[in-house]
Amino acid sequence: MPQVLLVEDEKKLLDSLRRGLSDEGFEVLTATRGEEAYYLATTRPVDAVVLDVMLPGCDGFQVLGDLRKNGFVRPILMLTARDAIEDRVYGLDRGADDYLVKPFAFAELVARLRALLRRDVGSRELHLRAADLEVDLVARRVVRAGIEIELTGREFQLLEFLLRHRDAVVTREMIARDVWHEPAGVLTNVIDVYVNQLRKKIEGPELQQLIHTVRGVGYALRSGK
């Protein structure tokens, strides 16, 4: 069970994040102050840190810098309320692995955390699979229940993205950014249409439903029964 250190001074947010991450199968340590975070990160076997920038006393960037100086190599994900480019660059320069702008979708936090934890171990898979759907990323072939399916470039990218996050919820923001490389905004409707299009192609009346809509959040590709 991966252990995550969660640093956030807003008690309510900290509490709901802790509960959510526990439900998602993380072991969660929490801290509300920079000094405390530094202490826990250096004394406990922490696999990843979720670090808020705005902290009382010693701020997030300071903790980040101190940890990296001290040879802390585990992934650190920064949470920032200001989405100024400078903030992001500053954080990444100082050794953050990723950042999320508040307010963020919890699903996105989970997805990114998983991605960060996986990065250390897993290599890029070239074949993705969910139930009876198989995707060959090299040949760009999609096969469902033995039948080959033609997809457009964008549909293929969308499917690949959903498969990489299989069994997890992805938000429209995540899809917009990672598949279209655009901020979400106006693409919300577009994404819905694309997902429906993809559904029509890879699903059928006799086949198991793979792509599920999670109302108010986004989509999930579920491989299980």
Partner 1 sequence: MRRLSIRWRLTVWNTLAVAVLLVVCGLLVYAMLRQAMYKQVDRLLESQFEELREDRQMAADYETRIPHWVQEFKEHVNVFAVVYDSRGQVFARTHELAKESVPSNPNSEPAEPRLATQQLAIIGPQRTLTARLSASRQEFTVVLMAPLSDVEANLARVRTVLVTALPVSLALAGAIGYWLSRKALAPIERLRAQTDKITAERLDQRLPIENPDDELGRLTQTINQMIARLERSFVEIRRFTADASHELRTPLAVLRTEVEVAMGKSLDENAQRNLLASVLEECQRLTSLTDQLLTLSRDDAGMTQYASERIDLSSLVAAVVETMTLLAEAKQQTLAFRGSENARITGDPGRLRRVFYNLLDNAIKFTPQEGRIEVNVVSRDNSMNVTVRDTGIGIPREHLPRVFDRFYRVDKARSRDEGGTGLGLSIVQTIVIAHGGTVEISSEPDHGTTCIVTLSQTDN
Pick 120 or 182: Cβ nearer partner 1: 182
In this structure, what token pair is assigned to residue 198?
């993809």
Is residue 172 a contact partner of residue 188, using CB atoms and an 8 Å limit?
yes
Pick 58 or 149: Cβ nearer partner 1: 149
For partner 1, which residue of 77, 170, 175, 187 counts as binding (CB under 8 A)?
187
Pick 147 or 214: Cβ nearer partner 1: 214
CB of 215 to partner 1, least distance (A): 4
Interface region with partner 1, contact rule CB under 8 A, candidates 26-34, 44-52, 66-74, 180-188: 180-188
- Concatenating the DSSP letter of every residue in 4-48 gives EEEE-S-HHHHHHHHHHHHHTT-EEEEESSHHHHHHHHHHS--SE
CA distance 161 to 38: 34
Residue ranges with strand state E in 56-205: 76-80, 98-101, 127-130, 133-136, 141-144, 147-149, 169-171
Residue 17 binds partner 1, judged by CB under 8 A: no
Counting residues that bind partner 1 (by CB under 8 A) gives 21
Residue 222 binds partner 1, judged by CB under 8 A: no
For partner 1, which residue of 40, 54, 184, 207 counts as binding (CB under 8 A)?
184
Pick 4 or 110: Cβ nearer partner 1: 110
Helix (DSSP H) and strand (DSSP E) numbers for the chain: 8, 12
Pick 45 or 185: Cβ nearer partner 1: 185
Q: Across-strand partners of 170?
A: 219
Amino acid making up residue 26 = F
Phi, psi angles (nearest 5°) of residue 79: -110, 125
Residue 93 binds partner 1, judged by CB under 8 A: no
Half-sphere exposure of 73 (CA within 13 A, CB side): 3
Interface region with partner 1, contact rule CB under 8 A, candidates 14-22, 126-134, 138-146, 186-194: 186-194
For partner 1, which residue of 25, 57, 183, 204 counts as binding (CB under 8 A)?
183
Interface region with partner 1, contact rule CB under 8 A, candidates 28-36, 88-96, 129-137, 176-184: 176-184
Is residue 212 a contact partner of residue 220, using CB atoms and an 8 Å limit?
yes
Region 113-172 residues binding partner 1, contact defined as CB under 8 A: 154
Under the rule (CB under 8 A), what is the footprint of partner 1?
83, 85, 103, 154, 180, 182-190, 193-194, 196-197, 215-217
